[in-house]
Amino acid sequence: MSNDTLLAQEFEEHRPHMKAVAYRMLGSTGEADDAVQEAWLRLSRTDSERVENLRAWLTTVVGRVCLDMLRSRKARREELDGPEHIEPIVSEVSEEQPAEEAELADSVGLALLVVLENLSPAERVAFVLHDMFGVPFSEIAEITGRSADAARQLASRARRTVRGSVPPPDPDLAAQRRVVEAFLAASRAGDFEGLLEVLDPDVVSRVHTVEGDRRWAPPAVGAETVARRALARGRPFAPYGRAAIVNGQMGAVADIEGRRFAVVAMTISDGRIATIDIFLEPIDPPDSPG
């Protein structure tokens, strides 16, 4: 077996890890794949025999690639249009197979990804690499072009932004599903009180779609406000909703005539829905909610 073949095999062993790192930084599965492919191109141009720890080397390279991509995104001012590039990871759920373990392990909550969009590129890279993957600040310093102390400060600022923004989700997916099913049932029935029972008093609901989509709405805060919006805008589409696993947590999807209309990510904490992030497909069907 040639050295190139062995190197390719080693690279494939680390691909899931690299994609997990890139997805947390970029929020997009397509861009994460692009970052991983760029890492392979850079590895193929490198004397691999001088790489002592391939996993650490690849993590560093993916970090640099993602930092460049985030900076390019910011230069195009995409962040002003909201996190429309975030791509949820959806797994179907059934009684026989409640979750696909691989996707569950490699996912990160959508509510957290939305919060990460508020960080600067360097803050996001420092936070993801250190707090999620344990990369030392000395290595993060090389990626960001700053000192180790500066890298530590980047992660600290990011941590302060993230802390308290997303409540810890309940760990039991079956319990999460019961809450989601109750939310969907109340939405279908027009049951305002039923919605209040499953919504956290301080719940935040956000709609994500492309710029100019008339279905967009500003965030709704508070159980009564969110419940009223769910009944006013979402009730006609509630019959199409069904429970699904969205980025490792229970949420919902809505399909109309075989076409995916919406992905609804939820954070369920202490038995109630604390965040709702509705990702609308950039296709506006007739009579969609306005």
Q: Mean pLDDT of all residues in the chain?
A: 87
Does the pLDDT value for residue 80 go beyond 50? no
What pLDDT, on a 0 to 100 scale, did the predictor assign at position 52?
Answer: 85
Domain extent listing, the chain: 3-102+110-162, 173-280
230-262 tens-digit pLDDT: 998 887 788 999 999 999 899 999 998 888 889
pLDDT at position 64: 97
Record: fold of 173-280: Nuclear Transport Factor 2; Chain: A, (3.10.450)
- What integer pLDDT is reported at residue 84 of this predicted model? 59
Average pLDDT for 80-85: 54
pLDDT computed for residue 106 by the predictor: 56
95 versus 163: which is more confidently predicted?
Answer: 163
d(Cα 185, Cα 94) in Å, to the nearest integer? 17
Kindly state the average pLDDT of the residues 94-103: 49
Res 10 pLDDT > 50:
yes
More confident residue, 65 or 213: 65
Whole-model pTM: value is 0.84
CA distances (Å), origin 206, targets 10, 27, 102, 226, 233: 41, 16, 28, 10, 13
Give the per-residue pLDDT at 165: 84
**Is 50 exceeded by the pLDDT of residue 100?**
no
* pLDDT value at residue 7: 84
Q: What is the pLDDT of residues 180-208, one digit of tens each?
A: 999 999 999 999 999 999 999 999 999 98
Question: According to the model, what pLDDT value does residue 94 have?
Answer: 59
CATH numeric code, 3-102+110-162: 1.20.140.160
Q: Looking at residue 107, what is its pLDDT?
A: 66
